[in-house]
Amino acid sequence: MSDTISKIPVNSGNGINIAQIADKNRDVERGEVYSAVEVSNHHHLQAAASAASASTPTPVPPELVSVTTPTSLHASSTGNKYDARTTTAGGGHEVNVPADTQDLQSATRAPNSATIVRPEKNRSANSRGNRWKAVGRVLGRLTLIMLSLAALAGALATLVIYMGPIYLVQLLVVVSVAYFVAGGRLRWFYIAFRTLPRDFKGAVGYIKLLWLIRGHQKKNRNVADVFKQHVDRHPNKVCFIFEDQEWTFQQVEDFSNKIATIFKMHGYKKGDAVALFLENRPEFIGIWLGLSKLGVITPLINTNLRKNSLLHSINVAKCQAFIYGAELFDAVADIASSLDVKLALYRFGSHPNAMSVGLKEKDLNTILTDVPTTPPTIQEKSGYNDKLLYIYTSGTTGLPKAAVITSARYIFIASAIHVLGMLRNSDRIYTPLPLYHTAGGVMAIGQALLHGHTTIIKKKFSASSYFSDCAKYKCTVAHYIGEMCRYILAVPPRKEDKEHNVRLIFGNGLRPQIWGEFVERFNIPQVLEFYGATEGNANILNIDNKMGSIGFISKIVSSIYPISIIKVDADGEPIRNAKGLCQVCEPNEPGVFIGKITQNNPTRAFLGYVDQSESEKKVVRDVFTKGDSAFLSGDIVVADEFGYLYFKDRTGDTFRWKGENVSTSEIEGIISNFINYRDCIVYGVEIRGTEGRAGMAAIYDESGTLNVNKLSTDIKELLPTYARPQFIRILTKIDLTGTFKLKKKDLQEEGYNPYKIQDKLYYFDAKLGYLSLTSEIYDQIQQGRIKF
């Protein structure tokens, strides 16, 4: 797998591949850049030439009238470095003109003039002026050097204080041996020079982030403590807007105090778990915020879950109570008989048949009316490192798993967006994402709770109203995830597309194939694409708007943020060297993304899942030294030579066909562009008598308007043979997770068997394209009579 995950050339539509992105940067260095600089004292030369022709023979040497011609900045053969010998001089300085020509005009007798200029006097004055200018230039350069050295010393001192002296030693070692590691080509220095501004910006932001969270850690603050600081600072500022209803910071604080008082009165204490099953609304945040003041952990349950998966989510968290929204009553009624008899039920909101439900639940709305807004007295307060929430994985590969989120983790994730994204105090955040997931509930809501931003909450995502909502609520920052951007792009263009004030969007899952088109159509100045897993300890951000990238690894001091890409085999298992240690991937070599685990560091600890056996599956040991460990993400990524990272695929999703590894994520993006941004799910299926897995694409086409013949032509023209889906399935309904991820496990298990599948099926014929796959054709494939 680490050899070639994908060799697919993306040359159509808006497709972007890693090689193209890297080549674009290098082409700038190879291209010819012409200078328009002319001789600054051109009029002096004209005068000199005129004077020379009018007087006795005082010939002007030819070099005095030479003018610079356009010059190329050639790249060196070893590192695309500029050739300083061909660089033209800057404005205000003569080019290819001897210094003494500045006095040429004063040294000649002007025609029709009765006075004679004294060249000696002028030379003396000019000489004194030039000396003072030279002294000024020297002093300016010395000042610049001193300031640069002071900044460097300050950065190194900060590095030592916050990261430890070992990182400074590593930096010095890296710089010392870089030349030799680079094989004497100085390529490392060129890359370091190119990436230094990015790395410096990232390092400064990371140090600010560490300083911020260290302050909370020293004071042992939890999320509710940080929120209270903003309540005291601006109690009447709008905190949340929901369906044109505004909640101030004080109102959110009062509501959460009521929740804390109720559950304290009912006997809940630190360490208990009370699940929350509620649709998006401000009370959702107020409920878990109030519970956190007691130290009660709140599992946030996906509102799309039903029956077994819903029951599993409640049981795996070992809940003592369950709060559900009245609109979700039917889902709760379906599992009521299977719930633990000791599980207390609380209903939020009114139900039309409240007298006949028979679940013996408590009406939380009625209880809230008689409770004061003053905060309750807490005997055992929750702290910085205590558990805050359980957030469930999306369930694309099975039953949801409950990931542990502490206050420390919550603060780190949300503050990383705020600090590294350089959000302003005046920013208004728009999120249509579900609040039970990390993206909406931590990254977006955290901007309000931890940094005092006004946040607009939507009940559900709507592609057609996304940017019109942003304009309506005067939002400057918007949130996206998964396939949302593709759905928004599929909406027909209209004048409202650019009539908004959004300056930044943040999220993850913006496909490279549509990135450029999206930001151009909707006039988005900056995309803050992030990468990370809810349960993981490895999170990265694209802080410099690099198209298609999910973040970067520093090429100067990679250990400052301990993440790596390691080589893996076809099953996603690490490939180890003779010493039994993992191997780091080379630039442009795909591998699995990992994050080094440091348990005594809240930003590097791996909290994992409530189920410890599931947590252990995510840990790889003996990574770079015996006894160390790292979080194994399971995601295939690749880094270019400048350290920019690009997502390729999930380890289980990549399949091998015709001797090549194929990235399902890339094929999905390309085919989606062919079919007007429809949903497309690509996966590998087995064919009897063949090696590896053949590609299969399930395409959502509810209206039956897909042109299969055109799709066949596009695929044959633009995809290599090994990357072409051998089977097509037309879906009339599609199963998405709450965070807009496409589920493929069930599809993969059903394969292309028409005896099991009612949907239309097609198979690929090399000459004729896609043909209908009937039960007779299926039998012939199984018998080996139709070859692939």
Say whether pLDDT at 470 is over 90.
yes
Sorting pLDDT into bands at 50, 70 and 90, what band is 17? very low
Query: Considering only 104-108, 249-253, 614-618, which range has the smallest mean pLDDT?
Result: 104-108
Mean pLDDT of 737-751: 73
Show Cβ contacts of residue 755 under 8 Å, excluding neighbours closer than 6 positions.
775, 778
Q: Spell out the alpha helix ranges (H) of 87-184.
A: 119-163, 165-181
Query: How are beta strands 727-731 and 694-700 bridged, if at all?
Result: parallel
Do residues 174 and 192 lie in contact, with contact meaning Cβ atoms separated by under 8 Å? no
Say whether pLDDT at 679 is over 90.
no
Query: How are beta strands 477-481 and 428-431 bridged, if at all?
Result: parallel
Specify the residue for token string 């403590």. Answer: 225
Task: Give pLDDT, residue 30.
Answer: 32
Alpha carbon of 184 to those of 81, 175, 187: distances in Å? 14, 13, 8
DSSP H helix total and E strand total for the chain: 22, 28
Task: Give pLDDT, residue 601.
Answer: 75
- The more confidently predicted of residues 621 and 48 is 621
CB atoms within 10 A of CB 755: 7
Do residues 292 and 385 lie in contact, with contact meaning Cβ atoms separated by under 8 Å? no
Say whether pLDDT at 37 is over 60.
no
- Phi, psi (deg, nearest 5) at residue 488: -65, -40
Task: Give pLDDT, residue 128.
Answer: 59
Specify the residue for token string 């004030």. Answer: 501
CA atoms 131, 133, 138, 143: torsion sign: positive
Say whether pLDDT at 32 is over 80.
no
CA atoms 48, 50, 52, 54: torsion sign: negative
Q: What share of the chain is helix, strand, coil (3-state, %, to 5)?
A: 40, 20, 45
- Phi, psi (deg, nearest 5) at residue 638: -140, 145
Specify the residue for token string 């009339």. Answer: 732
- Phi, psi (deg, nearest 5) at residue 624: -115, -20
Alpha carbon of 744 to those of 275, 396, 706, 726, 759: distances in Å? 28, 7, 21, 17, 15
**What is the value of pTM for the model shown?**
0.71
Task: Give pLDDT, residue 70.
Answer: 35
Task: Give pLDDT, residue 86.
Answer: 36
Q: What percent of the chain has pLDDT over 90?
A: 51
**pLDDT tens digits for 605-633?**
888 899 888 888 889 999 999 999 999 98
Q: Spell out the alpha helix ranges (H) of 495-561.
A: 512-521
Alpha carbon of 237 to those of 89, 224, 426, 454, 688: distances in Å? 55, 17, 11, 8, 65
Say whether pLDDT at 743 is over 60.
yes
Mean pLDDT of 159-188: 64
Specify the residue for token string 């993969």. Answer: 748
Distance CA 629, CA 637 (A): 20
Residue 621 burial (10 A CB sphere; 0-12, 13-18, 19+): middle
